[in-house]
Chains A and B, each alone.
Chain A
Amino acid sequence: MHERAQASRWGLSVAEFSVALEASVAHAFPGRAPAANEIDAYLASIHLADLAVACACAGGHDAAWDHFIREHRPGLYRAADAIDRTGGARELADSLYGDLFGLRERDGERRSLFRYFHGRSSLGVWVRAVLSQRHVDRIRATRRLEPLPDEDTAIGGAAPTVAPPPGSGGFAAAMQAALTAALIALAPRDRLRLACYYARDMKLAAIGRMLSEHEATVSRHLARTRRDLRAAVEQWLAEHQGYDAAAIAECFAAVADDSGAMDLGTMMAAAEAGKKSVADRS
């Protein structure tokens, strides 16, 4: 393993690398002792060379740091610029180096962020994921005083069972309740795809990259999920509200007619952004 990882390039001893491998195995099989063949298969699947680089960087080996800076800094900056085009994430990327090096110490020992890397992905992808996490956490920290959607709308899997009676706003409310129940009942992958597209405004291609699907497949699945949602909503309205076909039609008409609460400032901003994003989200 030491030889395959070319760990000696970074002056990493066999013992040091063994510790990293053991930590990686322990992280992959938490709470249990894996069988020998499981360990073999796992070690055959991880990115050994990247693990050696990370291990050496965490240990403060200069050659490994030079390699890391040379190979991964451009990609990290590109990722930062892609995440935040105003340059805000670039600052995060720079600060990330401090944590990767381990400027903080605990019990007299330098704590490098690299110790969280176990080789299950490539080092470059992992660094991008760390950067993304930090970016989101920083945004959420700045909005700490604002209500967060997940806290406000979390309903713990319990679908509402009672909807307001039919009326001008009743149909729309019933539709809202039915849709919420239908969304919760979706399969995790369908929910994730739907959330990525509608809640996160991700492009089809980006969703496809994450889910290993072609964007046309993502689009097809989204259309199918919408059909499933429609059927589930119709069924929910019939079963839980006792609506007949005419009342269900009224519900859908109410949704189509009701544009919801309007915030002109938000709409103007969205319209400006939409000129570009709609064209991009093919």
Chain B
Amino acid sequence: MADRHDRDRSIEHLVRRTPFPARAAESACVDAEQLAAWSGGGLGPNEAELVETHLSDCDRCQAVLAAFAESAPATPAVAPFWQRWTMRWLVPATAAAIGVVGWTLTRGVPDVPDPATMARVEPAGERPAVPLPTASADAPAAARQTASPADTVDRPSAAAAPTAATGDRQDAPTSVAPPPRAEAAAAESLSPAPAIQAQSGERSFALPAAPPPLPAASAGVARPAPAPAPPAAAAASRLAEAGRTAESRDLSAKVPQEQAGSDPRATRLLRPGAAGQNNVMMDSITVLGVLTHARLGSQAAVVFGPPSSATSAADGRAATSPPAAAAGTAVIWRISSNGRVERWGVEGTMWTGMALPGAALVTAGSAPSSLVCWLVTRDGRVLRSVNALDFQQTAFAVPVALDAVQAVDADRATVTSTDGRTFVTTDGGATWQ
């Protein structure tokens, strides 16, 4: 190995001091417009290849290219996927979400707080300071009772629960007359009528005179105290809390008790092929699993497939090995870093390279069903397969680099170019708009 490295260094040493051999360029020199269009991906595939070949051979054009590159404003060419603004938050979010799932699975008992418990652990000092006009005489006593230290100690999970109630409670000013919405929601779960009053804007907030009967575990006596939430779970909870809007806070408080602690966003992230996936999430597909559409960024490879494929692919192995559920009849597609397309599932045993018309660097794909797959290439071609075997080039003829495709079925698809334009077909690629 060391010998190879030494030889590689020798080659580099030799290349550095050797006048670069230039072949006699067979075509005319690249003009300014060709150079400008080539650098921006505005040439058709054939012309771009000609320009590239000439640039590799012509000493003068290489010098022009160097000066042209030097004159460009200093902006990064292609940011790696983890540095794109849409991705900056996704990496820690994904790690946190995976941590939450892993911790929940290994722990066995889902730590789902219920609104009633959240109301019970609320410290008395954070209640509205002023007397509430419509509160019943028993309400303050009930509140003080539910805020006893014993309850707080018995249910530490509630304090770390990813709910709107906890966060709002810690941040809420104590002298504000209107109750926090989470309290209203909690009260709604106990007694719908007062909550409706609170949400309607009236300054009336009343806890029920007596809390409804709780299970023994909720009462904090029979159930052993659960372990504190791990940092990853707490981070995920905070993240989920931060990402939730005020509107969704209201909605989340109204969901059934068994769903109140789950983060629907995190669930979507980890559900392969789920509806609602879009290109914002595509670059993380190697981590998250198999999605319907995929776009090749800076990753080693991306995997995509129809929604019915690989229901358990969110194990982080998607880039290197096929999902376990992909074996059999499901069809999964993979675009490797060099733009090669491979298919898993028909043969059922290995990734099979697909023969595409022409030499194409595939940049994105979309598989709306098991038989249909759309691909787009860097040289501006759109390929379609309706049998998961053969790809045909569609009539798309705009000389522009393409980097995204979203297909609905065999006839309808939308492709996006690197300069942000979108082109739509509704007839299988025969015409584009």
Please report A residues at the B interface, Cβ cutoff 8 Å.
37-38, 41-42, 44-46, 75, 78-80, 82-83, 116-118, 120-122, 125-126, 128-133, 135-137, 139-140, 148-150, 152-157, 175-176, 179-180, 183-184, 188-189, 191-192, 194-196, 198-202, 205-210, 212-217, 223, 226-227, 229-230, 233-234, 249, 252-253, 255-256, 260
Contacts and interface: CB of A to CB of B under 8 A. Distances in A.
The 5 closest A-B pairs by CB, nearest first: A150-B59, A121-B36, A79-B71, A208-B77, A132-B67
27 contacts: A41-B398, A45-B42, A83-B67, A118-B33, A121-B33, A128-B68, A132-B64, A150-B60, A157-B23, A180-B18, A183-B21, A188-B52, A188-B55, A192-B56, A192-B62, A194-B20, A195-B20, A196-B69, A201-B66, A205-B77, A206-B70, A209-B39, A214-B76, A214-B79, A215-B77, A226-B11, A260-B17
A153 B19 CA distance: 8
A192 B52 contact: yes
A180 B15 CA distance: 9
A45 B37 CA distance: 11
Contact of A82 (B14, B20, B56, B70): B70
Contacts of B400: 45
B397 A41 contact: yes
B69 A176 contact: no
Nearest to A259: B17
Interface stretch (B2-10, B210-218, B260-268, B319-327): B2-10
A154 B22 contact: yes
Contact of A155 (B12, B23, B70): B23
Contacts, number: 230
Interface centre among B55, B63, B418 (most CB of A within 10 A): B63
A113 B15 CA distance: 39
B41 interface: yes
Contacts of B378: 212
A207 B56 CA distance: 13
B401 interface: yes
A184 B17 CA distance: 16
A150 B19 CA distance: 9
B71 A128 contact: yes
Nearest to A257: B10
Given A150-B59, A196-B69, 14 more contacts: A82-B72, A118-B33, A133-B64, A156-B24, A180-B21, A192-B62, A200-B63, A205-B77, A209-B72, A214-B80, A216-B80, A217-B298, A227-B4, A256-B6
B36 to A, nearest CB: 4
Interface centre among B36, B67, B378 (most CB of A within 10 A): B67
B43 A196 contact: no
Q: Is the interface of B mostly helix, strand, loop or mixed?
A: helix
Interface residues of B, number: 72
A150 B42 contact: no
Given A149-B20, A227-B8, A129 B70 contact: no
Contacts of B69: 196, 202, 206-207, 209-210
B408 interface: no
A126 B30 CA distance: 12
Given A41-B399, A179-B14, A128 B36 contact: yes
